[in-house]
Each structure stands twice: as structure tokens, then as C-alpha cells.
A and B are shown apart, each in its own frame.
Chain A
Amino acid sequence: MSSVQLENVVKYYDSALLPGAAPALDHITLEIRDGETVSVVGPSGCGKSTLLKTIAGLERPDAGRIFYNQTEVTQIPTQERGIGMIFQDYALYPNREGQGNLSYYFEVRKKTEEEKQQRLKETAEMMGIGFDLLLSRQVDTLSGGERQRVGIARCIVRDPNVFLMDEPISNLDAKLRERTRVEMRRLLSKFGITTLYVTHDQQEAIFMGDRIIVMRAGRVEQFDSFDALYYTPANLFVASLIGTPPISVLPAERDGLTLRLHSGDSWTLPEALAHTLPPGRLRLAVRPEGWLVALQPGDGLALNVTHIERLYTERAAFAHGQLGGAAINALVPLDFPDTRQVFLQPDWERSYVFHADNESALHVPGVPDLF
């Protein structure tokens, strides 16, 4: 068990040594608490895998320091850091059966046979029913999900301080992915090992992580719980990454109490909100549940509905259409009538306003107080 801290970590790749090249990691400072599972999410190339490899010690940072449990490990080789890493392609040793993969570590470290057998037994128990059966099989005969279980067991068998997972289930098909992530969540809470979980899938990030790191272009945009990312995003990037269907972003301009869209239509802002916003160009962002939807024109703007998507399992429906140059998916009741036109107005308390240029948050709803 251990906490992980990064202090101003910078990492450049060799190929990026040209002048003006962007670093893969740009002054990353963060702290992962002991026993916590943290998801890392971001578009491809944002540096999330590099972050993982740098924490693992597979890549050395060009600047900055890394601590495990307040002990600096920046210069300590990867094999002495006591980590377990799970890879997207499983990276099980070829030409070995499951058991051989688990015992590799004991062979490399020249551990005793008793210790090995003891740990193998404990691991098999921890991994649950049916795991013994995988151990006697050749790696090539295992399915993707089974390989990943062996991969996890290979890490657990040596009792790591930190678990690092690099897109561990994205090679599985959708159904298996669902099942495996439930299984992994169960195992992780059982082990209580500090875990860093890299994924490009926000759903997976939300499901796996106690907290979530959102990365873009080598920087941490925000590191917080899901609720905080959802209700108090630091900027437009975080707001549009988190949430399905995605948030609708409408470029707008404020003039007094009037908020004018590019289409020329406008809404009237509540006075309290209008005073907190600068005049001029802004970006209004509204989540599906943040619309006040009416069938009669009142204060709302007309939305031509292209279709109504009814999700019976979710007991909800979405009205899809275009407004002010943005795609809108407004949440409506499941029994909402089939109609070609609705009238929309943002629920101002639940809408987001961002700076037009640097996209930082000017107004966010804030995490609702549920209790």
C-alpha cells in the first residue's frame, strides 16, 4: 500500500526534442491517496499512458519528482518500485501457461519454491472460483477476458504497492467489457491497492475511479470526483468530456440581460446571473437535463425536432435537434408526445457559462446537495 505523489513532473520524448515541441507531460503535480482508485481519462495522445509509464518507472521524467509514500522514487528502477502493471494487450509471456506467467517473478527474483507456492495459492483464492483452471492452460488458448484475469493475477501474486492499468479492457467486446469491469472493481476494492486506471472511455473512468484525472495535451485539466467534474468543471474541455449525451455548447453574446445566439435568437438572462458574467462573447453550455422544454412558445426558442430517442430502460427520452449551430439533446419524459417542434429555455441554475477564448468556467451549477 502506498500513496503516490508527483511534483512538477515534465517528460519529453526523444522525437520531440525539436524547438517548439510540446512535452508529453507538462508540469504534472498531483497526489493519489493510499488505497484509492483513480481513473485517468483524456483523448488519445494527451499523455495519459506516459503518465502511467512515468509513475511505473518505465519512463524517466526529464524534470520533477515522484514519491511513493513520501519516499522519493524518481531514480529508482522500475523493478524495485513494487508495482504491478496491466497492459491493454495483456503482455503475457508467450510459450508459457498461466502458472508459468505467475511464477516468472519468483524465477527472476530467485525466490524459494515454498514462497512461490504459498503466493500462488493465496492469489488463486483471491481471484475467485475457476481461476485454478486458467493456470494450467497455454496463454494462447485463453480468451481475452481470461488473459486479463491472468494478467491481474500476475501482478497480485507479488503483492504490489501500486497497481497501474493501461486500458486493460478496451480489447474486449462490449458485453465482456461490462462484466470484466464489474469483476475488476470488485477485486480492486477487495485488495485495497492504490490504483491508477487509464482509459479513453469516460463511462469506464466513472465506473472504476473513486476520483478522475482529466488530461489534455500533457496537462491535468482537473482531478476530482465525478460529481465535481460534472457539476463544477474547470473549463469547457472537462465539461464536454464528461457526461452522455454530451453537453451542448452554444456560442453566444451577452448584451445587458440579453443573451444572443449566433442565429440571432435570444434569451433573457436572470439578473443575478447576468451580473456575474462579462459582456460580449461567451459560450453557453447546457446538459440534456438542463433544458426547460415546453410545447407552447413562451420564453423559449423553437427547436425543430429531428427525432425523439426513447430509452425505455432508462425511463427517459431525448429530443434531438439543432439550435444556434449546436446539436441539442434535451431530456424529456418518456411519454413526451411525438412532435416536430418544442420550445427551449435553459434552466439557468443548471447551465454552464464559459469564457469564449480561454474556455474557463464563469458560471457552473455546483454539486447539488442531496442530503
Chain B
Amino acid sequence: MAAQAEVLDAPSAQSSVPSEVKARRRWQLALFIVPAFLFQFFWGWYPMLVALFLSMTDAPIRGALTWQGLNNYNRLLLDPLVPMAFRITLIYAGLSILLTFAIPIFVSILLMEMPPNVMRVMMILWFLPLSGIASTLFWQYLYNEQFGLFQWIATAVLGLPPQSFLSSQNWVLLWLILPSILLYGPGLYYLTGLQSIPRSYYEAAEIEGAGFWRKIWTISLPRLRPIIAMTLLFAIIGSLQEFTFPDLMTRGGPNGASRTVVMYIMNILNNARYGDATALAVMLFALIMVATLIYRIVFKADPDQ
């Protein structure tokens, strides 16, 4: 920083270089900042403020706005489907963080113990650029109650009675999350993080007699901490906004048992209740904000830094 400041101050220190040079530098600096600022403003802050405003109007698609105050929020709070959607979203987020965030850490650690070739193949498999639609269709087939592979395994191989899979109100969320273990994996981040840990750390611990688990606990996890912190935050934010996959797989069924908040917002939008939809979006925003804040408090800044 000191060196940078020196460079910036250097022209002003020389009397032969007039102040317009300094002014030009400011102008150049602004050139770098303004695009980022504009982008952030028009795609971030401005829509947020407008949404907050629209959520208190009837937000018709044409014609004049009518001020509604908190009426939209009142209506949503009386709608029993809203708390249901939030409950489902929270369960979905909790389960998917547990499975798609934590499992890859341990899979990555185990992969590191494999021969380098096996590891490389696994990394490629993990991150094959799969088409979202194609894999969704594939999973629809797997879960199909008449011809699906899982049904065949359940009945023909395991000898169980026919399973209901996605049409089971109790289990639908678990079945929906299962694919994301394979489709979404922060595993590559973990693997690169693990690869950047010098071997000597493990060798030092081995000499002292540390076993497999102790090495993970005292070396791998502490060194992965910054990566874990980042992926956890993304997992929280992403899973609370889940929409595409459950929408394609179940359309929210059966009986709304897999209808997340964003899917319900979509439903309301389809009924042309734009004010209510915006109000629900603001409520979801508040939830994500609170979750992020809790995360920030629990997962304090890296003590190493």
C-alpha cells in the first residue's frame, strides 16, 4: 500500500508536473469505478428499492399504481400456503446444505488419498458440463414410478413393495436433493484447496504419529477453512432461492409438498397478483439477509488473517 501511495503521489511532489496530471489520474480512476458502480446500481440496488416500493402497491402491469401500504403483507401472512412454502424452503435448504456441502468435503479428502490418476478422472466426472435439462429428464426417468430404474431396484432387486418416490409427500424433498449431490459439488474447490496444502505438513504430522483423522482435523480442515466459509455462504443463499430443479421435477407437488418460496412467488405471478408476489420476494430477501447475518456472526472472519 505504501508503495502504491508513493507512486500516486509522485507527480504532485515534482513541481514541474502540474496539477492537471493529478486531475487526470482521478478521472482515470473514476473510469475504472463507474462501470462497476452503474452495474451494481441498475442490477442490484435500484431493483431492490423499486421492489420494496412496489410491494406496497398493487403493481398493475398497466395503468396507475394504487398505494396499498402493508395490505399485501397482511394478505400473505393470512395465506396458509406462505408459511408452508417457507417451511419447505428451510427444510430443503437445511438438507441440501447438509448433503451437498458437507459430503463433498469428505469425498474430496478421500479422493486425495487415491492414486493421482483416479483422482483426475473423478475430478473430470464431477465437473462434466452436463446439460441441466438433459440431466433433469434423466432423473425424471430414474424416479418414474412405472418404468424408472429406482422402482426396478426397489421391487425387482430389493423385493420391496412399489415405492411412490416423487409422489410421496413425506419423502419428496429428500429425493429432490439427492441428485444435487452429484450435479452440484463444491468438490472441485475443496480438491484444489487440498492440493495446495504442501505434503510436508502431513509428513510432519506422520512423523509425530498422527493418524488419518487427526491429520484431517488438524491440517486439512483448518487449511480449507476459507474455502469452506465461501462455499457455505453460497450454499445458504443458493438453496434458499431454489426453483428450477423442483419446478421441473415435481411442479411443487404432491399437494405443495415440494413448493419452495420462489415457486410460490411464481404461482402468484401467474395469477397476475404482482403486488403480492413482490411482497413475498421482499420477505424472502429478508430471510436470506437474516441467514447471512447469522452466518457472519457464527462463522467469524478467518482468525489467521
Q: How far is the CA of A96 from the CA of B203 in the complex (A)?
A: 17
Q: Are A58 and B207 closer than 8 Å at their CB atoms?
A: yes
Q: Are B304 and A158 closer than 8 Å at their CB atoms?
A: no
Q: Are B200 and A87 closer than 8 Å at their CB atoms?
A: yes
Those of B193-227 within 8 Å (CB) of chain A: 198, 200-201, 203-210, 214, 218-219, 222-223, 225
Among B203, B214, B304, chain A packs the most CB atoms within 10 A around the CB of: B203
Q: Looking at the complex, which one of A53, A88, A91, A105 makes contact with B201 (CB distance below 8 Å)?
A: A91
Q: Are A87 and B206 closer than 8 Å at their CB atoms?
A: no
Which B residues touch A93, using CB under 8 A? 201, 204-205, 218-219, 222
Q: Which residue of chain B lies nearest to A14 when distances are taken between CB atoms in the complex? A: B115
Q: Are A108 and B207 closer than 8 Å at their CB atoms?
A: no
- Cβ proximity bits A61-97 to B, threshold 8 Å, 1 near / 0 not: 0000000000000000011100111011101111110
Which A residues touch B204, using CB under 8 A? 85, 87, 91-93, 154
Q: Are A95 and B203 closer than 8 Å at their CB atoms?
A: no
Chain A CB within 8 A of B35 CB: no
Quick one: given A91-B198, A138-B304, are A109 and B203 in contact (CB under 8 Å)?
Answer: no
Q: How far is the CA of A152 from the CA of B72 in the complex (A)?
A: 68
Q: Looking at the complex, which one of B115, B200, B203, B210 makes contact with A108 (CB distance below 8 Å)?
A: B210
User: In which size bucket is the chain A interface?
Assistant: 20 to 34
Q: Looking at the complex, which one of A89, A94, A104, A109 makes contact with B200 (CB distance below 8 Å)?
A: A89
Chain B CB within 8 A of A309 CB: no
Q: Are B208 and A94 closer than 8 Å at their CB atoms?
A: no
Q: How far is the CA of A56 from the CA of B200 in the complex (A)?
A: 12
Chain B CB within 8 A of A140 CB: yes
Which A residues touch B208, using CB under 8 A? 79, 104-105, 108, 158
Q: What's the least CB distance linking A341 to chain B, in Å? A: 48
Quick one: given A14-B115, A89-B200, are A108 and B206 in contact (CB under 8 Å)?
Answer: no
Q: Which residue of chain B lies nearest to A82 when distances are taken between CB atoms in the complex? A: B207
Quick one: given A88-B200, A94-B304, are A79 and B209 in contact (CB under 8 Å)?
Answer: yes
Which B residues touch A80, using CB under 8 A? 209
Q: Are A108 and B209 closer than 8 Å at their CB atoms?
A: yes
Q: Are A79 and B222 closer than 8 Å at their CB atoms?
A: no
Chain A CB within 8 A of B303 CB: yes
Which A residues touch B219, using CB under 8 A? 93-94
Q: Are B207 and A79 closer than 8 Å at their CB atoms?
A: yes
Q: How far is the CA of A79 from the CA of B206 in the complex (A)?
A: 6
Which B residues touch A56, using CB under 8 A? 203, 207
Which B residues touch A88, using CB under 8 A? 200
Q: What's the least CB distance linking B229 to chain A, in Å? A: 13
Q: Which residue of chain B lies nearest to A58 when distances are taken between CB atoms in the complex? A: B203
Q: How far is the CA of A32 from the CA of B171 in the complex (A)?
A: 67
Q: Are B214 and A53 closer than 8 Å at their CB atoms?
A: no
Q: Are B207 and A83 closer than 8 Å at their CB atoms?
A: yes
Q: What's the least CB distance linking B286 to chain A, in Å? A: 35
Q: Name the prevailing secondary structure of the A interface residues.
A: mixed
Q: Which residue of chain A lies nearest to B202 when distances are taken between CB atoms in the complex? A: A91
Q: What's the least CB distance linking B165 to chain A, in Å? A: 44
Q: Are B198 and A89 closer than 8 Å at their CB atoms?
A: yes
Which A residues touch B225, using CB under 8 A? 95
- Cβ proximity bits B49-91 to A, threshold 8 Å, 1 near / 0 not: 0000000000000000000000000000000000000000000
Q: How far is the CA of A335 from the CA of B214 in the complex (A)?
A: 65
Q: Are B198 and A109 closer than 8 Å at their CB atoms?
A: no
Q: Are A105 and B209 closer than 8 Å at their CB atoms?
A: yes
Q: Which residue of chain A lies nearest to B211 when distances are taken between CB atoms in the complex? A: A108
Q: Are B223 and A53 closer than 8 Å at their CB atoms?
A: no
Q: How far is the CA of A83 from the CA of B203 in the complex (A)?
A: 12
Q: How far is the CA of A138 from the CA of B302 in the complex (A)?
A: 13
Q: What's the least CB distance linking B67 to chain A, in Å? A: 55
Q: How far is the CA of A88 from the CA of B203 in the complex (A)?
A: 12
Q: Which residue of chain B lies nearest to A86 when distances are taken between CB atoms in the complex? A: B204
Quick one: given A87-B204, A88-B200, A105-B209, are A94 and B222 in contact (CB under 8 Å)?
Answer: yes
Q: How far is the CA of A262 from the CA of B53 in the complex (A)?
A: 91
Q: What's the least CB distance linking A216 to chain B, in Å? A: 24
Q: Which residue of chain A lies nearest to B303 when distances are taken between CB atoms in the complex? A: A95
Which A residues touch B222, using CB under 8 A? 93-95
Q: Are A91 and B206 closer than 8 Å at their CB atoms?
A: no
Q: How far is the CA of A105 from the CA of B209 in the complex (A)?
A: 7
Q: How far is the CA of A140 from the CA of B198 in the complex (A)?
A: 16
Q: Which residue of chain B lies nearest to A15 when distances are taken between CB atoms in the complex? A: B116
Q: What's the least CB distance linking A165 to chain B, in Å? A: 12
- Cβ proximity bits A259-295 to B, threshold 8 Å, 1 near / 0 not: 0000000000000000000000000000000000000
Among A56, A93, A138, chain B packs the most CB atoms within 10 A around the CB of: A93
Q: Are A53 and B206 closer than 8 Å at their CB atoms?
A: no
Among B200, B208, B214, B225, chain A packs the most CB atoms within 10 A around the CB of: B208
Which A residues touch B209, using CB under 8 A? 79-80, 105, 108-109
- Cβ proximity bits B170-193 to A, threshold 8 Å, 1 near / 0 not: 000000000000000000000000
Q: Which residue of chain A lies nearest to B198 when distances are taken between CB atoms in the complex? A: A89
16 contacts between A and B (CB under 8 A): A56-B207, A58-B203, A58-B206, A84-B207, A89-B200, A91-B198, A93-B205, A93-B218, A94-B222, A95-B225, A96-B218, A105-B209, A108-B214, A109-B209, A140-B304, A154-B204
Given contacts A88-B200, A154-B204, 19 further A-B pairs with CB under 8 A are A14-B115, A78-B207, A79-B206, A79-B208, A79-B210, A87-B203, A87-B204, A91-B204, A93-B218, A93-B219, A94-B201, A95-B222, A95-B225, A95-B304, A104-B210, A105-B208, A105-B209, A138-B304, A140-B304
Give the interface of A toward B (CB within 8 A).
Answer: 14, 53, 56, 58, 78-80, 83-85, 87-89, 91-96, 104-105, 108-109, 138, 140, 154, 158, 166
Give the interface of B toward A (CB within 8 A).
Answer: 115, 198, 200-201, 203-210, 214, 218-219, 222-223, 225, 303-304
List the 8 closest pairs (A to B, CB-CB), nearest first. Answer: A79-B209, A91-B200, A87-B200, A91-B204, A95-B222, A105-B208, A91-B201, A108-B209
